Amino acid sequence: MNKFRILWVDDEVDFLKPHIIFLEKKNYDVEKSFNGSDALELCKTKKFDLIFLDENMPGLSGLETLTEIKTIQPETPVVMVTKSEEENLMEEAIGSKISDYLIKPVKPSQILLCLKKHLDLNDLIHQKTTSSYTQEFIKISDDIQTADSLEEWHQIHKTLTKWELDIDLIQEESLSNILKSQKEEANKNFFKYIKNNYKEIVKDKQNINSTNVFKTIINPIAQKEKTLCIVIDNLRYDQWKTISPIITEHYNIREEHMYTSILPTTTQYARNSFFAGKHPIDIKKDHPELWIDENEEGGKNVNEEELLRLQLSKSKLKIGYHKVSNLKKSNDLADNLKSISENDLTILVYNFIDIISHSKTELDFMKKLVTDDKSYRSLTYSWFKNAPILKLIKRAKEENLTLIITTDHGTINCKKSTKVISNKEINSNIRYKKSNKMTFEDKNVFEIKSPKDVFLPTNSANETFIFAKEDYFFAYNNNYNYYSNYFKNTYQHGGVSMEEMLIPLIILDPKT
């Protein structure tokens, strides 16, 4: 194992000889410098893993030396060693990006703890993560085999996501592959659970799903508190956990819910049901002018504002609705949030993640940029941190608005194709199909022979729905190889997976 190289800068460094001997016995390589100027020359020729820097030195002061060090070795942690705890001095040092500070006289145990914190932290996290996941692996596997309720599947999905994010940090490929296999096993069993129980799930009014999430959660909050609800299209639970540290700089999480998307997990069905508070069959029956069949031209979400207002018409809430599809619209909303805050409930719909998932299918550069779930999360994080949506959330905090973050459905990275054949007209979505007559591979499919039993509208008596399981997607028998290659490793929705069906809904309070 290579030694860590430490630079200790202090005009009285000879008095620190016992500390340096102590560190050398702990296998650290320590170099000494008596002043800032010499320290800077050393930094130009050698790379240090950490620098201890005395605050009070003749010639270049500690703060002046710190500023220069950060231009030469910006990534090297610098620990300020000082006799003073004056507030302005600490503020200036922290503003100049010190990593830590120690107060003289320092003890060997303090020094060692500081080094462990800044140099050995990754190794310690790696060991702890590996050990903890290994210990929990058997319990997770048992839970996957025995889960028999939505609540249990919610918890499994949360647990697997937690480990996915933790293992991302330590970049341990073997552990990542084990977790990937466990997630695949989870989705296999989740598919079986949905296939066996879906009819009961959509009929049970106690289950929070696309049709009652407004009635059950959002509306009761808006009745008591001025609320901003941001619907980020296609936002998965792992993406929520990725962006949550940014949001929680400004908001505290009050409650973290998970609800179930109805099938198909698409705009046509899940999203319209979300805004209408009704099953698709009832939307078509009660508001035929607002229902657009898949074979009809026009966007499938063009009537969601009207569906929302019809759903909440008896609530007496003052409602605002905005769909954000470009930068200007987002900036305009952030700049005019005060007028929005006069509403009891404002809904903002963001389509950015939906655009990412579609462009990954269609654009070569996006295929290279988003290669797996980790890079998908990373791109989501970069967008959120730099987009006007964050400015809008900061303004919402200033206006003391309760914040709700949610979505309509998620997506899954499709890896495997399964054949479908139909002589009749068939829809274009590759995660589900509906038609009067289809031939398909039964083992990869959840078939609903009587769509009305699960509140899905049909255009003929013989029409059925089929849903792809896990990370499968449908490819036509003609040009099968072409479609298999074209859609492989793209993000799709419409079928049965935890990522598509288990939906985050988070309620947050502004920090004061």
- In CATH, the architecture of 208-411+500-510 is 3-Layer(aba) Sandwich (3.40)
Q: pLDDT (tens digit, 9 = 90+) per residue, 201-221? A: 999 989 999 999 999 999 999
Helix (H, G, I), strand (E, B) or coil at 360: helix
pLDDT above 70 for 90: no
pLDDT at site 232: 94
Instruction: Tell me if domain 4-119 and domain 208-411+500-510 are identical in fold.
Output: no
H-only helix segments in 351-423? 352-362, 364-369, 373-386, 388-398
- Greater model confidence, 360 or 327: 327
Q: What is the mean pLDDT of the chain?
A: 90
β-sheet with 78-82: strand ranges across = 28-33, 4-9, 50-54, 78-82, 100-103
Phi, psi of 123, rounded to the nearest 5 degrees:
-65, -40
Overall average pLDDT of the 148-170 stretch: 96
Overall average pLDDT of the 123-127 stretch: 78
- Provide the whole-model pTM: 0.82
Assign 85 a pLDDT band (cuts: 50, 70, 90). low
CB proximity list for 335: less than 8 A, separation 6 or greater: none
Q: pLDDT (tens digit, 9 = 90+) per residue, 229-286? A: 999 999 999 999 999 999 999 999 999 999 999 999 999 999 999 999 999 999 999 9
pLDDT at site 365: 62
As a whole number of angstroms, the distance between CA 67 and CA 69 comes to 6
CB proximity list for 230: less than 8 A, separation 6 or greater: 348, 350, 389, 393, 403, 404, 405, 406
Q: Are the C-beta atoms of residues 270 and 444 closer than 8 Å to each other? A: no
Domain boundaries of the chain, sorted by first residue: 4-119, 122-202, 208-411+500-510, 416-488
pLDDT above 90 for 344: yes
Overall average pLDDT of the 410-424 stretch: 92
pLDDT above 70 for 84: no
pLDDT at site 127: 84
pLDDT at site 88: 60
Assign 196 a pLDDT band (cuts: 50, 70, 90). very high
pLDDT above 70 for 411: yes
Percent of the chain with pLDDT over 70: 94
Overall average pLDDT of the 464-490 stretch: 93
The DSSP H or E segment spanning 501 is helix 498-501
Q: Are the C-beta atoms of residues 491 and 357 closer than 8 Å to each other? A: yes
pLDDT at site 246: 95
Task: Specify the fold of 4-119.
Answer: Rossmann fold (3.40.50)
Assign 335 a pLDDT band (cuts: 50, 70, 90). confident
CB proximity list for 378: less than 8 A, separation 6 or greater: 242
pLDDT at site 170: 84
State the angle between helix axes of 388-398 and 373-386 in degrees (0 to 180), rounded to the nearest 10.
60
Which of 400, 401, 297, 392 lies closest to 350 in space, CA to CA? 392
pLDDT at site 298: 73
Question: What's at 309, amino acid-wise?
Answer: R
Looking at residue 216, what DSSP letter applies? I
CB proximity list for 45: less than 8 A, separation 6 or greater: none
